[in-house]
Every structure is written in structure tokens, then in C-alpha cells.
Structure 1
Amino acid sequence: MTHEFHRIGVVGMGYVGLTLTAALARKGFTVYGVDTQTAVLDSLAKGQPHIYEPGVAEVFAEHVGRNILVGPDLPDEPVDAAIVCVSTPTDEATRRPNLKNLAAAAEYIAERCDPDVLVVVRSTVPVGTSRAIVLPVLRDRWGVEPHLVMAPERTIQGQALRELVELPQVVGGLDDESLRLGLDLFGGLARELVPVSSMEVAELVKLTNNCHTDLIYSFGNEIAMLTERLGLDPLEVIRATNLDYPRPDIAKPGYVGGGCLSKDPYLLIDSARQRGHEPYLLGKVRELNEDLPAHVAQRVVELMGDTAGATLCVLGWAYKGWPPTDDMRGTPIAGMMPVFRAAGMRVTGHDPLVGDEVIRAYGGEPVPVDAGFAGADAVLVITDHPDYRRLDLGHLMAGGRTRLVYDSWRILDEPTVLRHGARYAGIGYEPVGAR
């Protein structure tokens, strides 16, 4: 018999909780969003999401105060399910997972909810965490076996509302009854369900997805490191490699950041180490992808030559440009700025979505695109945001003093750059004319 869910609590209104709340509300659920940050709650209560994601602002504007209710606590009346969406960061120095938020959320749900509630772990966690951290808290508080499932979030930023419905939803339960309830809940959201045999399988599915993506991107970057030294074009190599060849495509070189790909490999590494296994690939993959921004920054400095007092205009400060986002987690600029400062460069910056105050916080001076080009000795394109693909490069470079355009994603027209007397380069691509 199918269990009906109507009232859903979402604990943690970061990216995962925010998008899930919007998706559930569109499906007719009443969603109670909980967060500890007053500024976040105040913004959401006004129907103004604090994180950019296409479609979410429209959903909140329509549903907040109706079937989206946000506050510091779950309601006094019982909810049918409580979904944990808190952050699970890693320590910047040790890279070990910090699961304090998860433990606190479990304690809160145990105190606030009844034992018949379905508890869902949606946060990304090391394998075994739902059983080792969440389960004991609920069991000890309630004195009974809880209904507990792990159902990982697997969306990509920029397409979350669509993917929450269209992507297969993996669900692993503590027991058969928990699994049944979890499938009933997510059956009201997702088109396809993937029941798995345990919470641990569900935890590993999420980590496997993201670590594999990290690995795929790293290979494109590995090729770029080779072509840079061989004097070849990585995009030419990759296009010829992929064309009508029936094996997995090679990814273009590029930066790999964001809240998931910059963190989840360390969660899987920790999971392995806790069981006496040192992974062969994961650490090296992460090292390569994390070193790329500083490597590019150093190449920009070397290609410019004299950098003392020079101005560099950086286009794109979020961690990626497509799909567009304002997320700064894992942003390449963080690893680049120390190199630019050491070279004595002034850095100006623009991003279609990132606010001026954030650019300043990272050490840049916000500028419009046209002013950035006009005052720049060099331009560095970090993201492939659609706005940058549409730039009138001839107009922007006319009469300027720009002598280098480093186009990380190769979205600008190289002949136009060269025609205006500047050098052109990209990740792994440094033709003779750009030396």
C-alpha cells in the first residue's frame, strides 16, 4: 500500500535544500524549509532566493507563504518526512570530512519529530555515514528503529529543477519498510526510481558519479599539459580523437570546481582510508584539477613578460559559466590571485552573476566589460558564460592596449585578437604567435 506524503521538512537551505524545496512545492507538497542563518531565512521569506538557479526565484515568488514556509524551526504539527540537506565540508588543511552539521541536523530532527517520520539523508557523505552518525542519534532518542533512507542529490547547477524530476532517483533504506517509504516519497517527485540494497550503496553512487566526472575532466587537462609543451592544439587533438569514434569522448580541458567536484573526491578517499585502502587515482586526479588555475595564472604572467604595474582584466569569477551560476565554491580565481599579486599586477574583474562585493572580496576591482578591455594590458577569460561568447571583440579591442588574451575555454575569435596586435592563448594552447 502506498504511503501518502504531504508535509515535508527540509533541514538546510543551501543549494541542495533550496532546489529540492522548489521542486517539491511545484509538485504540490507543503514544504517547511529550515536554516540557522537569519539572513537566508529573511531573504527566502520575501521570495528572494540567496542562490542563483534558473527557475527557483519564480517558484519561490509564487509559492512562498503558501506551500513554501521557511523559518528557524520545523512546525509544531508533525511533518511526514524530514530531509537532511546540510553541508558536509572538508577541512581546508587536512581534507578530512567535517560532519558536525549532519550530526546537529540528526539531533534536531530526533528532538523535533516523532518516530514515525521518514528521515532522509540527502547530504553527500562518506560511505557508512548515515548508519554511523544519523542512525544512532535517532535510535537513542526514540528508542525504536527509525524509518531512514539515503537518497543522494545528483543534479547539475543550472538544470536542477529539470533534473530533480527527470534524473533517476537512487534510494537506499535502513530496512525494507524504510525503502518502501522512501520510494513512495520520491515517487511523487521523480519520474524514475532506483531502489538499491542499502544506504551505503546510495552513498557510494553519489560519490562515484562525482569522482568519475572529476576523472573525466582531468584527462582533458592532462592532454592540455602535454600539448602546451608539444606546441599542439588540444582542441584539435580532442576533436580528431572523438570524431565518429565509438568510445567515450575526451573532455575539453578546463577548470573543475564547484561544491561537489572540489569536495566529494576527498569524501571517497576518506571512505577508502577508513577501510585500509589508499585509492590510486582519486588523489592525483584532484591534484591535477586543483593545480590548473595556478598553472594558468603562471602562464599568463610568463606570456605577458613585464607585469609590474600591469592591469589584468578577468572575465568570469564564478566556478563555471555554463550552465550559468554565481557559485564561488572551487572558483579558479582563488588559486590564481596569489600568483597575480606576486607578479605585481592590478586585477579588474567582471562576472554576469557574481556581485561586485564578491569580486572585491577576492581581490579584484569590479568593472564593466568594455572598461575592463579598455584599461587592460591582458584579458583572462575564466568562464564560458554565454555573454562572453557574444562579445563584440573587434569593438572592445579597438584602440586598446591589450597585448594578451588568454581565453581558457577558446570561445573568442582568435583571428580578431591577432588582428588587433595582441597574442592569443588558451589552456594547453600557446601557438607561436602567442609566445
Structure 2
Amino acid sequence: MRFSSEATITAPRASLTRGHLVDLAPLRESPAFARMWVGGTITGIGSQMTILAVGLDVYDRTQSTLAVSYVAAFALVPMVVFGLYGGVLADSFDRRIVALLSAIVAWGSTAGLAVYSWSGAEPVLPLYLLITVNTVAATMVGVARQAIVPRLIRRELLPAAGALGGISGGLMLTVGPALAGVLVASVGISWTYTIDTFLFIAAFFGLYTLPSVKPEGEVLKPGLRSVVEGIRFMRVAPNIRASFLLDIFAMTFGNPRVLFPAIGALLIGGGAITVGVLTSAIAVGVLGLGLLSGRLGAVRRQGLGVIAGVVAYGATIIGFGVVLLLAALSGEPVSESWSSVNWPALIAASVLLALSGAADSVSMIYRNTMLQASVPDAMRGRLQGLFTVVVTGGPRVGDLYVGVLSITALLWFPPLLGGLVIVVAAAVILRVQRTLREYDAEDPRP
């Protein structure tokens, strides 16, 4: 696929003064945004701690990997439903209040996990219920918070805010699980839940100090009609619709995380340590891209930025599949022992996964920026809700795709095929959706 030099992601002349490091202007110019970002990051680290701790807690009680998988499955439908409804509430009421009330519910469920763990009760069902409430409430907080961002900073700073969001996500995914592992091993699961309960206070600091953020424009009463209006808006928003489609393809066909345990046991070796390395590699890529995102804010052709990020993501997933294929063809004996690791394959796979995380961050930054800049404020919460459904639902459908194809026992096949599907889909959308190719950040249109 080629991009013409005129239509590529070239920065305007003014951007030449920008550095490569992350643009901190949103934090400097908007103390409210800075407080919300800091509070959200600290809270997110705690949430990742709890997610890992719940998985370990369930496994400790049941000794069943299938029971652990139910943690995500149990929350999927409620998360989709309340992701949509959270967007409706964000377009109907003061978004600060919606975020605060949702945060209170999330905090209460975290405290409930701690209390239940300290009680010594054995049944697993309360864990499923509490983590589902926690996930649903956190989803609603995220929807409201994303709808608030464009009201706190200048439109020109939205890409920088997206990059800061990438840094926040990278910190959550690297620090949270690592800290949880240390805490569970040293002080136990009950204390891990308890520590997260106190970390969650940071969310209230970030949200309580916000100004009132009531939706602007026509406001509908919360209900089914409001949800339908949000879905109908997609018909007249070809750029947003195309960006959602790109993300669905990327997250459905390019998410190899389900393969990591088998890769660590059968293909590369190293067992659980390899699984941890491969998982962390993605987060490192996300964090690294965020730190080196200074020039991204100068890009005008943000639709092409989404396309380029998705194509690069697909290419790295293809490369990951090729590495697995070469490891399979090498015939080197491996085991779950760290001493038998296929080091060249592990290093190459980790680098490619890090690059995939960076590429996904590029598309995420521009996708979020386009949504926040071009969608009317009165509709922004519902579109964020729809986007949340895409972001949360895609990877879970992707897990099913990988799981079905892995029946062939060819671990390299799902990522290789999936990466090709992503690249082809991006090429088709680039050709068909002319408005996405021509999207101009200085004249944002949905």
C-alpha cells in the first residue's frame, strides 16, 4: 500500500519546532485535565492490580483455568450494555456527576472484594458479581471521562491528550500487574484488594475537583430513544464509522494474547515467565510511543494516521506469526523451564509485539482525536459509549477467533492470517472511504 507524499501524514510547517518527546501542554494549560489524568492513572494501576488479584483468587479457590476465564466472560454483556447506557447518561446529565457516581460504585465494589476476602468465605460467585460491578462502573467512568476531555483543553491539544492517555494506559498495564504480583506474593490477596481501595481515592480527587460539564446542545432524556439516536448518528458520520470498523478488524483478528500460554509451553519455552514477557512487551510499546509522541499533534491528515497505524499493526502481527512459524520449523526442543527458551524467537516476538503496541497507540490517538473533535458535544457521550463497546468487545471476539483456529495446533496460523486480514481490510477501507483519506484536523468532520 502506498500513500502519496501530499496525502501522507506530514506535519505543517509550524510543527517543525516540535520535539519528539510527549507534548505536556494539556497538563500545563489545564489543571483540571492534569488532576483527572493523574487520578485516572493511579486508579487504573490499582484496577489492574485488582484484575490480576481476582484471577489469582479465583484460581486459588477453584484450581480451574476455566473458572478464571469466567471472570471476563461474566462481565462482557453487562459491560456492553452499561457502556452504551453510560454514554446516554453522559449526554443527559452533568458528566462530572455521572463520573463521580460511577466512581463511587466502582470504589464500593473494590472495598467489597477486600471485605469478602478478609471474611474467609469460600464461594466464588460473589467474586464474579463484585468484579462485574467493578468493571461496569469503571467502564461508565471511562466513557464520561473521555466525553469531558474536549471541554477541558483546546482542540489542537487533543492528540497530545490522547498520547498522555497512552502513557497512562502503558503505566497501568506494566506497573499494575507487576505490583499486584509482588503484593500477592508478599502480603496476600486480601491486602492487595485493600491497597487498591485506598489507591482508588485518587479517582475522587481527579473527578471531584472538575468544573461542571453539562452537555451542550439538544439533550434527550435517558432511554432507548437516546441510544437509537446515537446509533443513527453513525449513518451521517462516515469517518467515525470507518475508524470504528478499522478498530474492529484490528482487535478481532490481531489479538494473539490467548496463544501466549501455549507459546510459552510448546513453541518458545519459558512457561509463565515467557507469557509475562510477551504480555509486558505490548504495554512497553504503548508506553514508549506515548513518550515519543511529540510530533503526532502536528498531523493534519488524521484519518490517514488511523489507517497507517492499523496497517503497521497488521504488519507486526504478520511478523509475529512468521516468528512463530520459524520457531515451529526449527524443531528445537523447549519446555516450560526458563533454561530451555528459544532466545532468538523470544526476542524477535517481544520486539514485534512492542511495535504492535506502538502502532495500535498511533491509531488510538487519532481515532480518539477525530471522535472528540468532530462529534457534536451533545452526542459525544453516546459515541464514546459505542466506541467502548468496540474496544471491549473486539478483543473478546478475537479470543474466540484465535481459540477456534488454534484447534489446528498451528500456533503461528491465527496471527499470520489475522495480520493479513487486517492489512487487506485497511486497504479496502482506504480505497472505499474517500472522506477518511481527506479528513483534515483543521476542519474536523465526523
**TM-score normalized with structure 2 length:** 0.24
- Say which structure is richer in strand: 1
**TM-score normalized with structure 1 length:** 0.24
- Say which structure is richer in helix: 2
Structure with max Cα Rg: 1
